[in-house]
Amino acid sequence: MQIAYGADSRVQSLLAVTDATGSEGFEQLAAMQAAWFFGANHAGQRMYDPATGVTYDGLQPDGTVNRNSGAESTIHGLLTAIALDAHPDVRDQAVALTQVTDREGLAWVEAEDAVSTTGEIDTPESWTGESSWSGDRLTLSRGDSAVFDLGESGAARWIEPVIWSEVRERTASTWRANRTPLGSLQLTGPAQGISPTPGAMHPHTLTRALAATQDRVRVEVTRGDLQLDGLLVRPIVSRLDLGGDGAGMLLVHSAARTPQRVTVGSGEVSVYDARGREVRVRQGSGTVTLPAGGFAIVER
């Protein structure tokens, strides 16, 4: 579920970094994030109504909109509106971007959807006290294994298992794609600290990306009980293409550790490194090279 609280937080953070660094890259990212309120979301619906100040309560995973409007939603919608009024160039870009024309980003694979497993599937209480299970839980004990089908992609992907760890609980697991090792996770549950709940649910990035030619991942547990919620699947290069009435903006972002050559099409292309520093600008079409961890924005 997506809510105004999260969208506003991202807009405010990006604008704060823009003001601190002067980076046009972060300014453009702020505009693309703020466009969520004006229809550039997976429902294709406005979440904020400038005429009334209403911001709707949430955007559901299935694309429907919760059209209630509580105090928190309205406040965060108005906070974004105030921030955009203080940055008129960002505002003008954001309100012009009203639809998602293409997207290639994070995907989610439920642990209980393993194509084969020797582990146990059960349904925990949804709310842990500070986070929610996405559905059922797959518990793999020592000697257990599971295989997940991630579907075809044609591009390399990072795999991030999302795991619940009890305080001081130790687990060890190895992850492979056919015979190719993707990494091992040696985990110890964190101390409770000031959290109201013992235990924590976190994603853990494997050390090697899944190759473009591979679509299955296997995990084997060698210590403890691994409580798995699911797998986050992140493309090496993510894309978000937003459009509107006479406006268009494409973002390509690299999660690779080496430069990546990517196709971006036509328009004014600005390339930034991982810290948001501009490294080149050009007009034209074709491909660009993204620095490791960098991004490019194409304005059309």
Are 216 and 261 in the same domain? no
Please report whether residue 242 resides in a domain: no
Are 82 and 120 in the same domain? no
Instruction: Identify which of 137, 142, 102 has the alpha carbon closest to the alpha carbon of residue 121.
Output: 137
For residue 282 the two structure tokens come to 């050009």
Please report whether residue 241 resides in a domain: no
Residue-wise pLDDT for 70-127, tens only, equals 999 999 999 999 999 999 999 999 999 999 999 999 999 999 999 999 999 999 999 9
Host H or E run for residue 55? strand 54-55
Are 200 and 282 in the same domain? no
Please report whether residue 237 resides in a domain: no
Are 111 and 226 in the same domain? yes
Residue-wise pLDDT for 55-67, tens only, equals 999 888 888 999 9
The domain boundary, picked from 65, 98, 131, lies at: 98
Q: How far apart are CA 40 and CA 30, in angstroms?
A: 13
Are 39 and 125 in the same domain? no
Are 25 and 57 in the same domain? yes
Are 150 and 113 in the same domain? yes
pLDDT of residue 140: 98
Domain range holding 90?
Answer: 1-98
Are 25 and 44 in the same domain? yes
Confidence of residue 283 (pLDDT cuts 50, 70, 90): confident
Rg of the chain over all Cα atoms, to the nearest angstrom: 21
The domain boundary, picked from 63, 98, 133, lies at: 98
Instruction: Identify which of 234, 211, 224, 80 has the alpha carbon closest to the alpha carbon of residue 163.
Output: 224
Please report whether residue 85 resides in a domain: yes
Please report whether residue 215 resides in a domain: yes
Are 216 and 128 in the same domain? yes
Owner of token pair 């390399």: 156
Q: How far apart are CA 212 and CA 214, in angstroms?
A: 6
CATH number, residue 162: 2.60.120.260
Please give, one letter per residue, the 3-state secondary structure of 173-234: EEEEECCEEEEEEEEECCCCCCCCCCCEEEECCCCCCECCCCCEEEEEEEECCEEEEEEEEE
- What average pLDDT does the chain have? 94
Q: How far apart are CA 290 and CA 269, in angstroms?
A: 11
DSSP state letter for 291: P
Are 137 and 216 in the same domain? yes
Instruction: Identify which of 212, 238, 221, 18 has the alpha carbon closest to the alpha carbon of residue 119.
Output: 221
The number of domains in the chain is 3
Are 223 and 262 in the same domain? no
213 neighbors 80 (Cβ within 8 angstroms):
no
Residue-wise pLDDT for 159-174, tens only, equals 999 999 999 999 999 9
Residue-wise pLDDT for 214-261, tens only, equals 999 999 999 999 999 999 999 999 999 999 988 899 999 999 999 999
Please report whether residue 240 resides in a domain: no
Please report whether residue 238 resides in a domain: no
pLDDT of residue 102: 95
The string of DSSP codes covering 3-49 is -HHHHHHHHHHHHHHHHHH--HHHHHHHHHHHGGGGT-STT---SEE
